Structure 1
Amino acid sequence: MNDTENIRVYRSGTQHCRVLCLGSNPALQYTLIFQKLDIGKVNRSAQQITTLGGKGQGFAIATRAYYGDSHNNVVLQPIGGYAGDQILELQKKEKLDCISVMVNSCTRTATTIIDNSTKEITELVGTSEPISEFESKLFVDAAIKLLCCEQHPKALSICGSFAKGLSINSIVEIVKSKHPETLLFVDSVDRIENVLELGNTDILKINVDEIKSLGLRVLDNKDSADSTRNIITGISKLYNIKYIALTNGPLNAIFYSSDTQEFTEIQIPDISSIVSTMQSQENIVINPIGCGDTCSGVFLNLVVDGEKPLDAFIRGLAAASASCFSLAPNSKFDKKIMEEINLLMKTN
C-alpha cells in the first residue's frame, strides 16, 4: 500500500504485513511528573514527557521492545489535527509500521499524572472528534485491502475502543473479509458483541471487570451472576471462542482453552522483589498504564510464531509486569527484566 491524498504509509521494512493491528483510537500521550500534587491548586510539573498513546499503538511498541523491530506488525489508525501530526512523527522515531487514514477531526490526547510524593498515578483520557462516513470507509477499505492481499496477514488484532464515527458494523465488515487462516485476536469490549457473534474469534484477551460486564450483557442472569470461571465458559460456548485470557492487574490471571476445557491460573510475582535489585530505588515509579497492551503485543506475536497460547500468555504477562518500570512511552520494557519476571511466574 502506497501514500495517497488520504493515506500515509510508514514501513520500516519491505516485508508483507504479518499482523494487522486495528489501532482505531490513537492518542497523543502526555506524562506529567509532580514532586507533590495538591488537588485544587495550581500544580507545575517537574517533568513532562510526550509519547504515543492508544491500545493498538501500545501493542506495536511492545512488539518492537520484544523483537527489536516491528516484526512486520502494521497498525492501521485514523489520524488528524495537531495531535495526529505529533503522533506520526513519534511513530517514525519509534520505527513503528503504520498506515494512517488522514481525517479532518483532531486526534485525542491522554495525560498520565504521577505524584512523586505518594507514587500515585492518575490517567486522564480525552475524546477524539468524530470521523466522517467517508473517512470511516477509507479505514475499512484500507483494512480489507491488507487482509485480502495474496500474502494475507497471519493475525488480525482488534485493540481498544473505536474512534467516534467508526461503527461496530465497520469492524464487523473488516473481520468478515479476513482469510480463514488469519487468526482473530480481540482485546476490546467496545460494542464488541457483534464481532464475537461471527463465531471466529481465536483469542479473547479481557480483564476481570470487562468479562463480568460482558457476561451481564449477553448471558442469562443465573450464569452472569455466577463465578468468573462460569462466565468464561459461558462466553466461550456462546461465541465459539478457542481461548480466553483473563487479566486482573497484579492479581492472578486465568487462561481457558475450549479444546481441553481446562483452566490455568497464573500467579503474577510481586514486582517489588525486582525493585529491590535495582539501583536508585527511590526514583522508581511503578506505572501500570499500558500494561495490558504490552501483554497483547507479546502474547499474540508469540502465538503467531508458533508458541503454545498458554506459554505465550505467560510471557506476555511477564512483559506487562516489566513495562511497569517504564515511565514513557507506555508499553515499552526492558527484556532482561521481563525474562527475570518470567522465571518467577507460577501456574496451577
Structure 2
Amino acid sequence: MILCLGPTPALQRVMRFARLQTQAVNRALETLDGIAGKAVNVAKVLRTLGETPLLTGFIGGETGRRLEAGLAQCGLRQEWVRVPAPTRQCITVVDMASGGVTELVEESRPVPAEAYDRLWDVVKTRLPQCRALIISGTLTPGAPTDFYARCVAAARQQGLLTVVDTQRDALRATLAARPTLVKPNRQELEALLEQPLPDAPAVARAMRHLQDQGAEAVLVTAGSGPALLSAEGRLWQLRPPAIAALNPIGSGDSLTAAMVSRRLRGEDWPEACRWGVAAGAANALTWMPGELEMPDLERLLAQAEVTAWEPPS
C-alpha cells in the first residue's frame, strides 16, 4: 500500500458560471459535487494508476460521513480518526467567460489533542504494510508542529519513500527527519524562507538550502510554468505540456501521485517527474480534482519535457 496522510480532507463542489460578477446574483450553469482535499486527490490518482492507496486523517460530522461514503463508492481504502469537528467543504468557482478559477477554501477546525495520538497509532500500525508515505496538506489549528516529522522519521526507519507537501512550520520541522522529497510551490518556499525568490537561480539556491537542512530531493512547482527538481546533486527543469486548462485545482496532487508511482516502479527522478507533470496537466482537463483520465495522461506524457538545468552564472 501507499499511505496517504492528510488531516484535512474536504467535500468538493465545482460550480460553473457563464460570466461571474461580484456583488450580483450569479446562477450556475452546472454544479458538481465530489470528494477532495490534497491527500484524497493523491489517493484518487494513485488508484487510477493501478496503485493501492490507504487514506488516513480526520473526519467528522455529516460531511465526514458523506466523504467516507464517497470514498467507499470509489473503492478507496480508508482508516479515519473521527473527531467532533465536521469535515470541511471547499468550493471551486469557474468563470467560463474568462476561464478564471477561484477556490473558496473552508479552513479546518481544531481537533482534540488526543486525536493526534490516535492518528499516530494508525500511522505506526500501517507503515510496515506500506511502500511509501505521502503527506499532503496542512495540519489542523493548534496541532503539534512536529507531527509530520515524527511520521517521516517512522517511515524512514521502515525504509519507505517519503514525500512531504505542506507549508511553513510543519514543513520546516520535517527536514531534520530527512524526507525523500519535499514539494513546495514557489510561494510556499518564499513563505518558508521568509524572503522573495525573484528568479530561477534564487529558487535553486533555496532548494539547495532545504537539502542542506535534510531533504534528499526538492521539487518546486510553479503552476502551469516550469517546475525545478533538485536531486542527487543535479538540477532539472520540468516543462508541462501546453493545454487549455478547465480546472487546475489538484494538479499538484496529481503530480505527486504519478511521481511516487513511477519511483516505486524503478524510474529515476527525472522520468518519474516527467510522468508527474503530465499527470498534473491531465488533471487540469477535468472539472473535479484528482479524477484524470488515463488516455489524457498517456497523450500528454509525450509532450512533457525534462531537461538538465544549470543556473545562469
**Normalising by structure 2, what TM-score?**
0.91
Tell me the distance in 1 between the aligned counterparts of 2:181 and 2:107: 28
Tell me the distance in 1 between the aligned counterparts of 2:173 and 2:109: 24
The 8 Å contact of residues 215 and 235 in structure 1, kept in 2 or not, is answered as no
Residue 193 of structure 1 aligns to which amino acid in structure 2?
A: R
Question: 1:297-322 deviations in whole A, cap 9, x for unaligned?
Answer: 11112112222122111101101101
Residue 232 of structure 1: aligned partner = 207
Residue 28 of structure 1: aligned partner = 11
The 8 Å contact of residues 315 and 342 in structure 1, kept in 2 or not, is answered as yes
Moved over 3 A (4+): none
Within 5 Å, which residues of 2 pair with 1:2-17?
none
Query: Where in structure 2 are there 5+ consecutive unaligned residues?
Result: 308-313
Cα deviation, residue 209, structure 1: 1.7
Cα deviation, residue 168, structure 1: 1.9
Tell me the distance in 2 between the aligned counterparts of 1:75 and 1:48: 26
Residue 266 of structure 1: aligned partner = 238
Tell me the distance in 2 between the aligned counterparts of 1:105 and 1:265: 42
Residue 205 of structure 1: aligned partner = 183
The higher radius of gyration belongs to 1
Tell me the distance in 2 between the aligned counterparts of 1:50 and 1:190: 30
Residue 105 of structure 1 aligns to which amino acid in structure 2?
A: A
Secondary structure at the residue paired with 2:194? helix
The 8 Å contact of residues 94 and 101 in structure 2, kept in 1 or not, is answered as yes
Residue 310 of structure 2: aligned partner = none
The 8 Å contact of residues 6 and 137 in structure 2, kept in 1 or not, is answered as yes
Query: Where in structure 1 are there 5+ consecutive unaligned residues?
Result: 1-17, 273-284
**Normalising by structure 1, what TM-score?**
0.82
Question: 1:58-87 deviations in whole A, cap 9, x for unaligned?
Answer: 0001112222xxx22111120001211110
Within 5 Å, which residues of 2 pair with 1:89-238?
89-147=69-127, 149=128, 152-178=129-155, 179-191=157-169, 192-198=171-177, 200-216=178-194, 227-238=202-213
Tell me the distance in 2 between the aligned counterparts of 1:118 and 1:185: 35
Give the CA RMSD over aligned residues. Answer: 2.2
The 8 Å contact of residues 6 and 39 in structure 2, kept in 1 or not, is answered as yes
Tell me the distance in 1 between the aligned counterparts of 2:240 and 2:99: 21
Tell me the distance in 1 between the aligned counterparts of 2:89 and 2:21: 23
Tell me the distance in 2 between the aligned counterparts of 1:173 and 1:347: 33
Tell me the distance in 1 between the aligned counterparts of 2:249 and 2:180: 26
Cα deviation, residue 48, structure 1: 1.3
Identity over the aligned pairs, expressed in percent?
A: 23
Tell me the distance in 2 between the aligned counterparts of 1:84 and 1:30: 15
Residue 64 of structure 1: aligned partner = 47
